[in-house]
Amino acid sequence: MQTNAQLASRQSMETLHQYSAKVLSVAGTVCELSLDEMTVQASIATHVLGIAPGQRVVVLGDRSGTGWLVTAAWPDPADQRAPLLAFEPATGTLRIRAARLDLVALAEVQLSCGEARIGLSLDGKAHIEGAEVLSAATGSNRIEGATIDLN
């Protein structure tokens, strides 16, 4: 059996909805949003970092205008530091834009396309395989190793 407090909490949660909004201004942990044709004040959830005016966000609340909470934010395309992840279903292309992309695997990294493969293994070996391998440079192109085997 639910207590009165649990019932009231459940009923209030059922009236909350998610909306897309645009950030107008930010002051600490509070921001002003343009939501449809309303301007509302919203708190920013602690896990949502670095939002800026002009950015699109997801806000949780009800139309009474009280208790708005920003729960997520789209990357700001104007901020070159912001990572951007986009999938184009028509072409099957996943695009990642970031100042630095750091992929770390616990055992092995394998990049494949058709019969071409690049593999990096835990033991420090790098394998490049393909029907044709091209190495080109506008500056020097060096090959280093304890021994170098050609053919």
In angstroms, the Cα distances linking 118 to 97, 100, 114, 125, 143 are 21, 20, 12, 11, 18
Q: What is the mean pLDDT of residues 11-28?
A: 81
What pLDDT sits at residue 4?
46
pTM: 0.46
Question: Measuring CA to CA, which residue among 52, 50, 45, 36 is closest to residue 67?
Answer: 45
- Strands (DSSP E) found in 28-125: 30-35, 38-44, 56-61, 68-73, 84-88, 93-97, 108-113, 116-121
Q: pLDDT tens-digit profile of 53-83? A: 988 899 998 776 668 999 988 876 666 555 5
Which tops the pLDDT comparison, 12 or 16? 16
Which range is least confidently modeled, 10-24, 27-41, 47-61, 70-84? 70-84
What pLDDT sits at residue 37?
85
CA pair distance 82, 120, nearest whole angstrom: 28
Domain parsing of the chain, residue ranges: 4-73, 103-137
Task: Name the one residue in this structure whose structure tokens are 């002009």.
Answer: 54
Count Cβ atoms below 10 Å from residue 94 Cβ, excluding itself. 9
- Per cent of the chain over pLDDT 70 is 79
List all residues 6 or more positions away from 21 whose beta carbon is below 8 Å from its beta carbon. 33, 34, 35, 40, 42, 56, 57, 58, 59, 70
Q: pLDDT tens-digit profile of 125-134? A: 999 999 999 9
Mean pLDDT, the chain, integer? 81
Question: Measuring CA to CA, which residue among 108, 112, 111, 135 is closest to residue 124?
Answer: 108
**DSSP string covering 135-147, please?**
---SS------SS
Strands 116-121, 126-129: parallel, antiparallel or unpaired by DSSP? antiparallel
State which fold the 4-73 domain adopts: OB fold (Dihydrolipoamide Acetyltransferase, E2P) (2.40.50)
